[in-house]
Amino acid sequence: MNKKVLVVGGTGYLGQHLLQTFSDLQISPSYHLAFTYHSSPLPSKLLHAFPHSLSFPVDLQTGHGFDSITSTFGQPDIIVNCAALSVPRACEVDPAAAMSINVPTALVNWMLGFKEKDTLLIHLSTDQVYEGTKAFYKEEDETSPVNIYGKSKVEAENFIISNCSNFAILRSSIIYGPQTTSPVSKSLPIQWIDGVLSKGNKVDFFHDEFRCPVYVKDVVAVILALTTKWVTEATPLQLLLNLGGPDRVSRAQMAEAVAESRGYDTSLINPVSASSVDRGVKSPADISMDIGKLVKTLNLSSTSFKDGVNMTLAAP
């Protein structure tokens, strides 16, 4: 029996990469696919890329639009929630919007009304739930976010754990990789670094802010593995997993990897302290993560940052 997959936030960066992978699997056919969007109208490029996917306008703050999914598409077997107000500064400016969008109250309440209670919710959280005072955080470490974005994501995790019986929460680091079929408006990290270094001018990069950036196709592989695990085992999941790449890198080291891949002069990279710049929002210094639990649970390997950068820059 074909499984119904709903991608909430399907027009975003991760959402489009997920749609691409699940669309390829539709050929099997293994999955029926639908996605939600907020901004209208939908880009024609996106509609042409996924002609067999149903699309639904949904307001995550009010829940308006969810009922039309049930009546047209039916109850999803798997819901992947990629939608978020994910720019930390924007969250700081409008905390109410951050909380109402990032805490999936309307989505979960809609799910609680399903006749069959076995839908799997895969929810994207963030590494910014951690305070950032040490290297390689584990899932059981205390969450003590330093900004509104992180706080909204902690609240979302707690809400899901309290109300759902079948879920996987993924604390994602910076997601990077090739551009999407319908290009997203937000700046992509590797492409941005490539763009500024290509001009040949000296650029400041933080040497003391550490992350474990994760290649987008690894994120998709994790979500696909969780979906397969649920479909084949039919046992409810209750998972909280760090989702990062295998390498702890500073912003300056990220730039060095791009420079090495492109053959740019590394002297263009000027290492500065993150404390020297006011970004209008507090940013955790070191939220690198231990991904041992993820690897053990799903038996997946992860792409090194260097390889991921090379594949990103080689993409058309």
225-274 residue pLDDT tens = 999 999 999 899 999 999 999 999 999 999 999 999 999 999 999 999 99
Among 225, 224, 241, which Cα is nearest to 33's?
A: 224
Q: Are 34 and 76 a contacting pair, CB within 8 Å?
A: yes
All structural domains of the chain, each given as residue ranges with its CATH number in brackets, are 3-180+209-247+284-314 (3.40.50.720)
Tell me: the pLDDT tens digits for 266-278? 999 999 999 998 8
For residue 220, the model assigns a pLDDT of 97
pLDDT tens digits, one per residue of 97-150 = 999 999 999 999 999 999 888 999 999 999 999 999 999 999 999 999 999 999
> Which pLDDT belongs to residue 39?
80
Residue showing tokens 């080689």 = 314
Q: What's the one-letter identity of residue 33?
A: L
**pTM tops 0.85:** yes
Q: What is the mean pLDDT of residues 294-302?
A: 96
Spatial distance between the Cα atoms of 56 and 37, rounded to a whole number of angstroms = 6
pLDDT at residue number 154: 98
Q: Is 121 left (phi over 0), alpha (psi -120 to 50) or beta?
A: beta
pLDDT over 90 percentage in the chain: 87
The 3-state DSSP class for residue 284 equals: coil
Q: Is the pLDDT of residue 157 over 60?
A: yes
pLDDT tens for each residue of 167-201: 999 999 999 999 999 999 889 999 999 999 999 99
Residues 6+ apart with CB under 8 A from 276: none
- State the sign of the Cα–Cα–Cα–Cα dihedral 234, 240, 211, 85: positive
- Strand pairing class (120-126; 78-81): parallel
Residue matched to tokens 């003590």: 144
In this prediction, residue 41 carries a pLDDT of: 82
133: its two tokens: 């005072």
- Which two three-digit tokens encode residue 97? 């919007």
